[in-house]
Amino acid sequence: MKKHTYKTALLLCAVILFHGLVQAQKTASVKINSTVTCQKITGFGGFVNSGSFAYDWMTTDEIKKLWGKNSEAGYNIMRLYLPIGKSAWPQSLATAQLAQSLGIKIFASPWSMPAEWKTYNTINAIYTDANGVVQNNSLKEANYADYANYLNDYVTYLSDNGVKLEAISIQNEPDMKSTYAGCIWTPLQIATFVKNYGSLINCKIIAPESVGLTDDYANAFSDDNVSAKFGIFSGHQYSGIQTNYKNVQAKGHDVWMTEYLINWNADESTPTVPVTRDFNWTKDAFSFANKLNTAMLSNINAWVHYASRRFYGLMGDGTYGSTTGMLTKRGYILSHYAKYTTGTTRIQNTWNDDSGILGGSSYLSVTGDSVIAMVINPSTDTYTLTVDLPFYFTTGKSIVTTESSNMLSSAITLGAETCRPKITVSPSSFTTLIFTKSSVRPVSQMTGKAVHYNKIEDQTLTNTAFGNSSALSGAKVTFDHSNNLISANTTATNGYLKLNARYNQLVFHVDSMKSAGSFTSSATTLYYINSSGSVSTHNYGTVTFTQNSNFDWILDISSTVLTDGCIGILGISNGNYSSILTINLGDVYFRVGTEKMYKFTGVYSNGDSDFLNCMEDPLYTSLDFTGTSAITTDLDWNTSAAGKNCIFYVANGVTNNTTNVIAGSTCSKLALTDGGGNFYAPVNFTSTAASYTRTFNGYGVMALPFEANVPTDAKAYTMLASATNVSCTSVSNNKIPANTPVLIQGTGTFKFEGTGAVSTPLALKVNDMNGVYISVKAPAGSYYFKIVDGIGGFYPVSSGAEPTIIPFSAYLTPVNTVAGSSLPLKFTVTGIEDLKADEGVDANNNLIFDSWGRRIYQPKKGVVYIKGGKKVIFI
């Protein structure tokens, strides 16, 4: 077996799939785990009507374009219409024979049996009686045997003419009360029919083909006596996919989705003025792709569209901008799955995407030597996607469909093996990635999970009457118009959830989500306690949730959005009456910015997928290895980490003195830098040697998590704001206190060194100066430091133009009403030194400033100035 050095795994090739103008890229990763297998993929296809339909009748060439191994689309399943009455059966024969010649799977679906066998002697699913009451039109029990024989006769008819059906359906949509051909069957009725009469049908039965893959039909078909009499459990995707069909699947049955369509024009009209529109890639392609992908993630074995030849189907019919006989975009998207996943086994993939935009599914080839990944990117952003593979590879293929291209194929060729290629994913695209195994990747002996230290259940309740509904981490909740999140309280009568720090985000990690309708929350309203202690509300509008699993729903609770501040939470309401969201939550927590933490256990493995994700992501602020064994003295994580201010906790007694490693509660060497990203210590520690390096150009505001010395050629001042200025006083003993915002004066790169306790309070505030270790936006109404025309001072923050405050800095929220448009610096006069006239104003490149921080070009005798970080007087 080849040896692979994981220390070089972070230096990975980028495979460029997008040609043209390069945009600003976002990053994401997907971990593909071939050891967790899901369903086998039987195939994909569409429905072909009979000649009696007013649409979708297909020519031989059109059928050959969609179906068959060598066709353009590559579909392998055809749903055939079973005409009503034996005299009409020949309508379907030619299509069935053609399908048979293509070597594909064929199943037939009846809309109705002969009318005389039904309760109201009509082929329609419902009947309106003389009193105007709508009645269900069902098959009479006395004719159950007749109908079973009728279906078997159709199987025999096709067989005698050279066509072998894969399966035959009992009824198209037995729960659809349609005014067209249909028949109503309750779950018990159709299950009883299959149990008692299924043996009369000399063909595999596919049933019930209900409007949705619903639990009521699944429960009826889970009966062992029913299970023995049918082959394929089926349903349509219109009313969603529930879960109990998995009980049927566990008994050895395939589950097929046998009809779905999205007619975009149906939602684009008013009662009086019809509005038509052509296919819209951005709006229509991704709604289709996500529905298809949702079915795959729900363990569906096969997926069949409704009308194959239709403007909303797989092939155009010449209406609404479609081209007759040409594949539509939906046809190409389905072709991605048909050509590259048929016969494969779906395997686990886990997305790590802060934007929550990317989605898809992954598959293992029949031979087990290739992985196929479907990637859906509905956004206008380009993504750099790290694909974490279960093996090493050197060659592969990408197939991309965009608005302007169809299944554009290109080779993925690398100069060296890797198990973590970086793929550039085009904006607004559907991509198939195929990776072929070149060698084995060792299995990691570590396991890890994201860690959040400010969970919602850790906040304080001001009154026990508030209840425990706020303990949401790991809970399963319902969120709709009558079920709020956190609590149903809209007043503070029962108390509230008091926030223990200055947070900017409320994060709900969603493990999975289901909906009885749309995946949206309308008029999403937060009820909260503002800084004055009063109840306030904020409407976040309509929230559209991704249908993917494992994503973060983030509510911005910063003062940029909640302008009156937020010190407590009551609850969140959903105004959507058309859906019921069932959410399986992971951690629910508060955070300041984009800080991330991760904890590992087991035997240390430097090739672990989660570990490599953390090392490549600059947003990680700490990794916890306290429960991990085999940590050696030479492990230098800081060198490889993208976030240079990330800290690494190991167990007490572990010997590792490399940079930013904390053993127990002691760090031998803490080295921080202004370009290293956020810094956050969830567990306080002591550092034997700590430093922070930063470049200044005259002045800057700084806060350090440890006590530090003022370096040579720099000066440090504590700051106190008044209504007219910010008074600056030299720090005592040349020491910068820990967690105290100070003004630094100096030009160049300085290292601030110290020792002792290290901590990062999330609500750091000294003399109205708000210290920041995690990058945030300064709230409107606050003041931030900047230099204008060589003069340093604090300037107001305007709404809509909030500046970003970098880590190890601060912003000002003065309690006094500011008299002017800004707050200039004013230096107190202590330790004055003389400035000789012959030294010159700019001698040694040291600029001269007055006590307000304004640059002076013509100093006056007897006046105190600042030069080179020292107070001087010109004589």
Q: In whole angstroms, what is the distance from residue 855 CA to residue 192 CA?
A: 93
For residue 278, the model assigns a pLDDT of: 86
- Cβ–Cβ contacts within 10 Å for residue 273, how many? 6
Q: In whole angstroms, what is the distance from residue 744 CA to residue 694 CA?
A: 11
Domain over 42-341 is classified CATH 3.40.50.300? no
Greater confidence (268 vs 799) lies with 799
- pLDDT, tens digit (0-9, with 9 covering 90-100), for 729-745: 999 999 999 999 999 99
Task: Tell me the CB-side half-sphere exposure of residue 655, using CA atoms within 13 A.
Answer: 2
For residue 845, the model assigns a pLDDT of: 52
Q: In whole angstroms, what is the distance from residue 805 CA to residue 206 CA?
A: 62
CB 261 within 8 A of CB 238: no
Work out the average pLDDT over 286-292.
95
Work out the average pLDDT over 322-349.
97
Q: Where are the domains of the chain?
A: 6-38+351-443, 42-341, 450-591, 596-827, 833-874
Confidence label for 833 from pLDDT (cuts 50, 70 and 90)? very low
- Cβ–Cβ contacts within 10 Å for residue 171, how many? 26
For residue 809, the model assigns a pLDDT of: 98
The radius of gyration of the chain from alpha carbons, rounded to an integer in Å, stands at: 34
Confidence label for 547 from pLDDT (cuts 50, 70 and 90)? confident
- pLDDT, tens digit (0-9, with 9 covering 90-100), for 42-51: 999 999 987 6
List the one residue out of 244, 116, 109 whose CA is nearest residue 174: 109
Contacts of 841 (CB under 8 A, 6+ apart): 848, 856, 857, 858, 859
- Cβ–Cβ contacts within 10 Å for residue 324, how many? 13
List the one residue out of 240, 217, 351 whose CA is nearest residue 300: 240
Q: In whole angstroms, what is the distance from residue 599 CA to residue 617 CA?
A: 15
The helix/strand/coil state of 194 is helix
Task: Tell me the CB-side half-sphere exposure of residue 424, using CA atoms within 13 A.
Answer: 14
Confidence label for 869 from pLDDT (cuts 50, 70 and 90)? low
The percentage of the chain sitting over the pLDDT mark of 90, rounded to a whole number, equals 81
For residue 820, the model assigns a pLDDT of: 86
Element containing residue 340 per DSSP (H, E): helix 329-341
- In this model, does residue 542 exceed pLDDT 90? yes
Structure tokens at 281: 């890639």
Q: What are phi and psi of 734, to 5 degrees?
A: 60, 30
The helix/strand/coil state of 65 is helix
Cα separations (Å) of 850 from 248, 698, 861, 867? Answer: 83, 13, 13, 9
Work out the average pLDDT over 84-91.
95
Confidence label for 831 from pLDDT (cuts 50, 70 and 90)? very low
Confidence label for 843 from pLDDT (cuts 50, 70 and 90)? very low
Respond yes or no on whether the N-terminal peptide bond of residue 208 is cis (omega within 30° of 0): yes
**Mean pLDDT score across all residues of the chain:** 91
Q: Name the pTM for this structure.
A: 0.83
Angle at CA of residue 506, ends 504 and 510, nearest 5° = 145
Q: In whole angstroms, what is the distance from residue 803 CA to residue 825 CA?
A: 20
Contacts of 725 (CB under 8 A, 6+ apart): 823, 824, 825, 826, 852
CB 330 within 8 A of CB 338: no
Greater confidence (450 vs 550) lies with 450
- pLDDT, tens digit (0-9, with 9 covering 90-100), for 681-692: 999 999 999 999
Number of H helices, E strands in the chain: 11, 56
Q: What are phi and psi of 200, to 5 degrees?
A: -80, -10
Lowest-pLDDT range, 203-217, 286-300, 626-640, 829-843?
Answer: 829-843
Structure tokens at 202: 């000399």
- In this model, does residue 851 exceed pLDDT 70? no
Bridge partners (DSSP) of residue 300 are none
- Cβ–Cβ contacts within 10 Å for residue 643, how many? 24
CB 323 within 8 A of CB 332: no
Q: In whole angstroms, what is the distance from residue 701 CA to residue 719 CA?
A: 10
Task: Compute, in degrees rounded to 10, the torsion defined by CA atoms 420, 424, 430, 434.
Answer: -40
Domain over 6-38+351-443 is classified CATH 3.30.930.10? no
- pLDDT, tens digit (0-9, with 9 covering 90-100), for 108-138: 999 999 999 999 999 999 999 989 999 999 9
Task: Compute, in degrees rounded to 10, the torsion defined by CA atoms 122, 124, 129, 133.
Answer: 160
Q: In whole angstroms, what is the distance from residue 628 CA to residue 640 CA?
A: 19
Q: In whole angstroms, what is the distance from residue 31 CA to residue 266 CA?
A: 38
Is beta strand 429-440 parallel, antiparallel or unpaired with respect to 476-479? unpaired
- Which residue bears the tokens 């399966």? 167
List the one residue out of 404, 344, 403 whose CA is nearest residue 374: 344
List the one residue out of 776, 806, 803, 554 whose CA is nearest residue 701: 806
Give me the count of residues in the chain: 875
- In this model, does residue 439 exceed pLDDT 80? yes
* 427 CB-contact burial (10 Å; exposed 0-12 / middle 13-18 / buried 19+): middle
- pLDDT, tens digit (0-9, with 9 covering 90-100), for 577-624: 888 899 999 999 999 999 999 999 999 999 999 999 999 999 999 999
Q: In whole angstroms, what is the distance from residue 152 CA to residue 202 CA?
A: 6
Q: In whole angstroms, what is the distance from residue 320 CA to residue 277 CA?
A: 6
Element containing residue 207 per DSSP (H, E): strand 205-210
Confidence label for 3 from pLDDT (cuts 50, 70 and 90)? very low
- Which residue bears the tokens 């009826």? 220
Contacts of 461 (CB under 8 A, 6+ apart): 470, 495, 496, 497, 498
